[in-house]
Amino acid sequence: MIIDTHMHIFDDRYQGIIDEVVAEAKANNVGLMIAVGYDYESSLKAIELAHKYDCIYASVGLHPSEVVKEKDKSLEWLESLLHENKVIAIGEIGLDYYWDQSFKELQKELFAKQIGLAKANNLPIIVHNREATQDCFTILKQNLVPGVMHCYSSSVEMAHEFTKLGYYLGIGGVVTFKNSKEIKKVVKDIDIQYLLSETDSPYLAPMPYRGKMNRPAYTKYVVEEIAKIKETDLAMVEEALASNAQSLFKF
């Protein structure tokens, strides 16, 4: 079985086709998926999907690009959602210096606070990092909880540093792009026990659908590419990646 450890099919773009998208995923052997929230509203939608579909679990959290919504820093809504059935992680949380640098300190503070919540509730975290690798690493090192660097896109050297801390690396559609040399090297170099498959649907569709709307069924192209890079049997790669996800998220 293949697991899509990161998707957002509660997005408006899937309105009216969610049943079809879930059925298509199952037909392509993608038997489990994690719907990942990024603020209060989307976290509620992720939980709603998890309650509706057997094969979907939910992650709840406040994305770094959404921290302005939480100026009082209380995150009370997040704590209240952690006890909902099928909530298995906190995320996506992290740092994003690409879109906005003006809330760096607030991002760091709320990232650390959500890591604390994960620790207190014995949940893994799903980490978003964009152009903030060093700060991300520092904060994670100071507050160790199990987790995944979602859509990993940093260097091979940092991949070794994150996995030394026990972090998994989420591998998505970008690995199938011809020009993605560094991420292909990460997949080649890093032991498969640290890799997870994901799509980040609706974003970053793999080849041959690059530029189109992504769908959880397309996780299979990511898994195929990982097997190709590792020059390993596809069935073995599938099983290893699924077992990694199971170890981290305990479905």
Residues that bind Ni ion in the complex, under the rule CB under 5 A:
200
- The least distance separating Ni ion from the CB of residue 6, rounded to whole angstroms, comes to 6
Residue among 96 and 200 whose Cβ is closer to Ni ion:
200
- The least distance separating Ni ion from the CB of residue 36, rounded to whole angstroms, comes to 5
Residue among 4 and 200 whose Cβ is closer to Ni ion:
200
- The least distance separating Ni ion from the CB of residue 107, rounded to whole angstroms, comes to 16
- Measured CA to CA, the distance from residue 123 to residue 60 in angstroms comes to 11
- The least distance separating Ni ion from the CB of residue 140, rounded to whole angstroms, comes to 18
- The least distance separating Ni ion from the CB of residue 203, rounded to whole angstroms, comes to 7
Closest residue to Ni ion in the complex (CB): 200
Residue among 4 and 227 whose Cβ is closer to Ni ion:
4
Q: Are 176 and 205 in contact (CB under 8 A)?
A: no
DSSP result, the chain: -EEEEEE-TTSGGGTTTHHHHHHHHHHTTEEEEEEE-SSHHHHHHHHHHHHH-TTEEEEE---GGGGGGGTT---HHHHHHTTSTTEEEEEEEEEETTT-STTHHHHHHHHHHHHHHHHHHT--EEEEEES-HHHHHHHHHHS---EEETT--S-HHHHHHHHHTT-EEEE-GGGGSTT-HHHHHHHHHS-GGGEEE---BTS-PPTTSTTS---GGGHHHHHHHHHHHHT--HHHHHHHHHHHHHHHH--
Residue among 65 and 163 whose Cβ is closer to Ni ion:
65
- The least distance separating Ni ion from the CB of residue 232, rounded to whole angstroms, comes to 27
Residue among 176 and 227 whose Cβ is closer to Ni ion:
176
Residue among 70 and 200 whose Cβ is closer to Ni ion:
200
Tokens 């974003």 locate to 203
